[in-house]
Chains A and B, each alone.
Chain A
Amino acid sequence: MPLVRLPAGLRVSVTVVTLVVLVVIYVPLLLVLLNSFNTDRTFGWPPPGYTTHWWSLAWHSEGARDALFTSVRVALAATAIALVLGTLAAMGLRRTRFFGRNVVSLLIILPIALPGIVTGLAFQNGFRTILGLQLSLWTIVIAHATFCIVTVFNNVQARFARLGGNFEQASMDLGAGPFTTFRLVTLPMLRSALLAGGLLSFGLSFDEIVVTQFTASSTDRTLPIWIFQNLFRPNAAPIVNCVAAALVLFSVIPIYLAQRLSGDAAEAMTGAR
């Protein structure tokens, strides 16, 4: 796409602001990485010396490892639910104009538009006070899936808008039933959108702390909860830094994948929370 010839003054000032803000965005992240090698436990600046000691401690930390697996399990389960419900909702709202359509869209956005404390407290109160259930990993999964639906929904809806319904129409005209058409035409057409939406949903659940704190029992430790419990312990803080630095580095993979898969930048970001 040919770029706009913005006037030189505007161009320069926009470029300068962008560079400055990018530096500000990345300095804290680089500090986390640097501090994971800092010999000073309180992360004073400048670091008095460097060590790989924390990384070896972090590698052998059972608490961190257990929390990592718990987070992965929760995120996978929440994503699986979100994939099914988000796809169904997007298919249901496709090409249909009916009374209440806007209500349905609003309902899908609501869990991310309301602050996490509201969603978290509502579920905690619902599970414990109203239903009399114990909090567990499943209550976390249910709460996470609720706010993950929107990421899948947005990706699938954008894909439908781009591709239209001609292929499915053709499939039906050729005699395939709705389920065959879904399996052989719709699903392959959605594959990369589902993967991008699923990745976003996984990331959203993986890093979530507010709703998680409200819906987890005292023994369930997802990685963010483990980080929060250890952040203020002088002995554990350097290990937390290593875990965080590793997370920052690994986060390149899902972003790269999501970018590749959806092709469209605007699509890749929708619901990125």
Chain B
Amino acid sequence: MSLISRRPGLRVGLLLTPPMLWLGVAYLGALAALLVTSLWAQNDFTGNIERTWTLDNFRDLFTIEVYRTITLRTIGIATLVTVVDALLAFPIALFMAKVASPRYQRLLVIAVLMPLWASYLVKAYAWRGMLSSNGLVESIASPFGLGTPGYGLLATTMTLAYLWLPYMILPIYAGLERLPNSLFEASADLGAGSWTTLRRVVLPMVFPAFVAGSIFTFSLSMGDYIAVKIVGGTSQLLGNVVYDNQGAANNLPFAAAMATIPIVVMLAYLAAARRTGALEQL
């Protein structure tokens, strides 16, 4: 016991060993095994995995056009969802942090958090109902000569942006709350209009919070295969290819190869995010 108090290094080591065994050995080990599996082959006749080294899966991934299209489409949708969420989240976060009274501030945080606890599936399904040809969107839009976009990529983007919006609002709110109010006044005193203050003072300071939120919105969209099944019609995203290959098609090595794409994209994203200091705000 006294040994632990005298040797801080030993204490840290003992404390960190169990979580590091779990995350560093089990989780990272599983990720490494996934990369190894992506280099294995699939026997077309028996459906068994053959543990022989091959780059065939990656060759298919890069040469078969449909996979490239799906990859680019997935990255495009994830980017679009992130941008839409950032645009919607900023005014709300600003209202919560700097306009609402402390009482309302508390209520608003609850109001933004609550949808996160409602089942993800049911929210996506509610959008399916709203976007259907006899749904709410149609009955609101038809007087204006518009209609529901129907099921497809636009519906998928809308639904995903809806689902992940709280993940963007909360970090930006936390970031704005940390900004001293005097900053706004100083900027106004120095003659800046409200737009200039937002653009030149507030946005640069809360940028890491935007990045922190975008990690969630981007990553969650990148891996989605369920919302797109519910509202996407026949469109496919990267997640569908991974899911179908591990399940119905039973080609685990190819699913593993496909899954390396989001790993590489997210690691690059995290590396870039780290430079902005966003990871401390997660």
Q: Establish whether residues A2 and B181, one from each chain, have CB atoms under 8 Å apart when the complex forms.
A: yes
Question: Any chain B CB within 8 A of the CB of A74?
Answer: no
Question: Any chain A CB within 8 A of the CB of B135?
Answer: yes
CB contacts (< 8 Å) of B181 on chain A: these are 1-4
CB contacts (< 8 Å) of B19 on chain A: these are 85-86, 88-89, 92, 108, 149
Q: Establish whether residues B194 and A6, one from each chain, have CB atoms under 8 Å apart when the complex forms.
A: yes
Number of A-B pairs, beta carbon distance below 8 Å: 306
Q: Establish whether residues A244 and B118, one from each chain, have CB atoms under 8 Å apart when the complex forms.
A: yes
Chain A window 119-147, contacts with chain B (Cβ cutoff 8 Å), 1 for yes, 0 for no: 10111111001100000000000100110
Interface size for B (C-beta < 8 A) is: 106
Question: Any chain B CB within 8 A of the CB of A111?
Answer: yes
Q: Out of B110, B125, B194, B263, which one reaches A114, CB within 8 Å?
A: B263
Question: Any chain B CB within 8 A of the CB of A272?
Answer: yes
Chain A window 234-273, contacts with chain B (Cβ cutoff 8 Å), 1 for yes, 0 for no: 0000001100100110011011100100000110111111
Q: How big is the A interface, by class?
A: 35 or more
Q: Establish whether residues A268 and B109, one from each chain, have CB atoms under 8 Å apart when the complex forms.
A: yes
Question: Residue of B at shortest CB range from A7?
Answer: B194
CB contacts (< 8 Å) of B63 on chain A: these are none
Could you tell me the distance between the alpha carbons of A112 and B88 in the complex, rounded to whole angstroms? 23
User: Within the complex, what minimum Cβ distance (angstroms) separates B277 from chain A?
Assistant: 12
Binds B, one of A24-32, A57-65, A187-195: A24-32
Binding site for A on B (CB under 8 A): 1-2, 4-5, 8, 11-12, 15-16, 18-20, 22-24, 26-31, 33-34, 37, 49, 88, 91-92, 94-96, 98-99, 101-102, 105-106, 108-123, 125-127, 129-130, 132, 134-136, 138-139, 162, 165-167, 170, 173-174, 177-178, 181, 184-185, 188, 193-195, 198, 215-216, 219-220, 222-226, 230, 238-239, 242-243, 246, 252, 255-256, 259, 262-263, 266, 270, 279, 282
